Amino acid sequence: MERFYYLAAVTFVLLVLLHHLLMGRGRRRRLPPGPRFALPILGHLPLLKKPLHASLADLAARYGPAVHLRLGSRHAVVIGSAGLAKECFSGDLDIAIANRPHFPSVREASFDYSVITLANYGAPWRTMRRVATVHLLSAHRVNIMSDNVISRELRAMVRRLARASAATPGGAARVELKRRLFELSHSVLMEIMAQTRNTYSDDADEDMSKEAREMKDIVEAIVPLVGVANIWDYMPLLRWFDVYGVKKQLRDAVNRRNTFIYKMIDAEKEKLKQLERKNGKDDSDEKKSMIGVMLSLQKTEPDVYTDTFISALVANLLGAGTETTSTTMEWTMALLLNHPNALKKAQEEIDLNVGGGRLLDKNDLPHLPYLHCIITETLRLYPAAPMLLPHEASTDCKIHGYDVPAGSMVLVNAHAIHRDPATWEDPEEFRPERFEHGGAEGKFMMPFGMGRRKCPGENLAMRTMGLVLGVLLQCFDWSRIGDGEVDMATATGTIMFKAVPLEALCKPRANMSTILKKI
């Protein structure tokens, strides 16, 4: 027993020495200020409370806009001001911090980090990013998708809501908005990827294609397992010995996902072959799904656009685009329910500019500036990714005059920047009017990030949100369930979810009754 205590003590001392030896390199550098005492192995991790953005904002209030922390064995710098965020994402510094930290917990689900969101800055990332921005998410394709896909899925949703209301005594249906908005965003992206849907059911409760439903089930199996696996990032022993059996479950779920995507790719290949046989030539890109577009690229550069490349891109865009978009729409509806005057003002704007004779479409959006202000104000208050995605420095660099060693994580507190009282008057208040008539010009927001790793899905997200929210406000009156305000508590995580899923009452508007019977 004595020997055991002796060995434990020696191991502890060695660990502390090793820790100081490794981390001590920082002493010669001028690191940004931060809490002095860091535990061996864990570093400052115990200081971080949930939600992370609030905890980091507290540290910024104490130490300044650039705070140094040690998270496990990594250096991390937290950026907490608009000025510094702009500095980070301009010029050479933008390139220096354009890598992503790689956490073992996400390796399994991310094709070995070879997806746009996680790949390091370099040639493979550039190729994926170019395909996504030029061929899949460009303004031109978003325009095509607005009519082909988004409006079709949206009409199906409106039809179901109108039917549900008609079947409810009093005409106001109780709607699980969180679920509906998620399913709509997921269906839109699935259709954009693979165009699998060929029928629309009149089922009032759910309207996803068979493929969209299967993909949703698979993603729902993977997400909690990645959550449990997070602990691997700091305790590798759990990973090596697969203590909870998570590794095997995760591998099974990821295999299921990959097999499913390969099946979609094969189906799309078959569809394209049939078209070619029928027409003697390939279809135009405009009519193709995203998988179809990538299969055309595969013909000319088979070594680059492999089936694995396509699968990784499909899985990545579905993952990056669904919950960000649906959560932002859920927050918007929650804010409007708590601010009925803003809701009414948006409806009046729609009535004036579109009327009740047809559903609003993409051409109406530029004439609905107040709706745009509402979405922007929601993105300010509830940015879906409150800390963006973590960046990593590929070389030693300087931020705000401080040394930042290569390998440091750089975290940007967009949530805190959006609520900085030095920039925003009454920052905690929902006030879309602040953006009216260029009122917020020059004020800095970054809900989609900035610089090289900025979100490539902004166009698609803004278009989807404009159309969905516009049509929901045009067709229905919305009210809260019960007398109290909607609970605006946030859940924690990379994405800022609403802690209590949003439900609301929805009643068809009188001026839309003819249209609602026809769609």
| Interface positions, 272-301, toward ligand HEM (CB under 6 A) | none
Q: Is 354 helix (H, G, I), strand (E, B) or coil?
A: coil
Binding of ligand HEM by 317 (CB under 6 A): yes
Which one of residues 129, 135, 213, 251 is an interface residue with ligand HEM (CB under 6 A)? Answer: 129
- Minimum distance between the CB of residue 420 and ligand HEM, rounded to whole angstroms? 17
Binding of ligand HEM by 449 (CB under 6 A): yes
Q: Which two tokens stand for residue 279?
A: 């027409």
Beta bridge partners of 70: 75
- Are 234 and 260 within 8 A, CB to CB? no
- Rounded (10°) CA dihedral 502, 505, 506, 510: -150
Binding of ligand HEM by 332 (CB under 6 A): no
Which one of residues 82, 88, 388, 445 is an interface residue with ligand HEM (CB under 6 A)? Answer: 388
Which one of residues 51, 292, 457, 470 is an interface residue with ligand HEM (CB under 6 A)? Answer: 457
CA distance 254 to 43: 32
* 359: Cβ contacts below 8 Å, ≥ 6 apart: 151, 155, 158, 471, 474, 475, 515, 519
Which one of residues 448, 476, 478, 497 is an interface residue with ligand HEM (CB under 6 A)? Answer: 448
Which one of residues 110, 165, 196, 325 is an interface residue with ligand HEM (CB under 6 A)? Answer: 325
Question: Nearest 5 degrees, angle CA 403-CA 405-CA 406?
Answer: 140
CA distance 32 to 43: 16
- Minimum distance between the CB of residue 99 and ligand HEM, rounded to whole angstroms? 10
| Interface positions, 98-117, toward ligand HEM (CB under 6 A) | 116-117
108 φ/ψ angles, rounded to the nearest 5 degrees = -55, -45
- Minimum distance between the CB of residue 402 and ligand HEM, rounded to whole angstroms? 20
| Residue whose CB is nearest to ligand HEM in the complex, by number | 457
Q: Which is nearer to ligand HEM, 292 or 449 (CB)?
A: 449
Question: Nearest 5 degrees, angle CA 379-CA 461-CA 96?
Answer: 75
- Minimum distance between the CB of residue 455 and ligand HEM, rounded to whole angstroms? 3
Which one of residues 221, 365, 389, 481 is an interface residue with ligand HEM (CB under 6 A)? Answer: 389
455 is in an annotated binding site: yes
CA distance 194 to 212: 10
Binding of ligand HEM by 80 (CB under 6 A): no
Query: Would you give the binding string for ligand HEM spanning residues 32-51, x where CB under 6 A is met?
Result: --------------------
Binding of ligand HEM by 315 (CB under 6 A): no
- Are 118 and 110 within 8 A, CB to CB? yes
Phi-psi region of 67 (alpha: psi -120 to 50; beta: other; left: phi over 0): beta
The closest alpha carbon to 66, from 330, 402, 352, 481, belongs to 402
Q: Which residues bind ligand HEM (CB under 6 A)?
A: 116-117, 129, 316-317, 320-321, 324-325, 328, 384-385, 388-389, 447-449, 453-457, 460-461
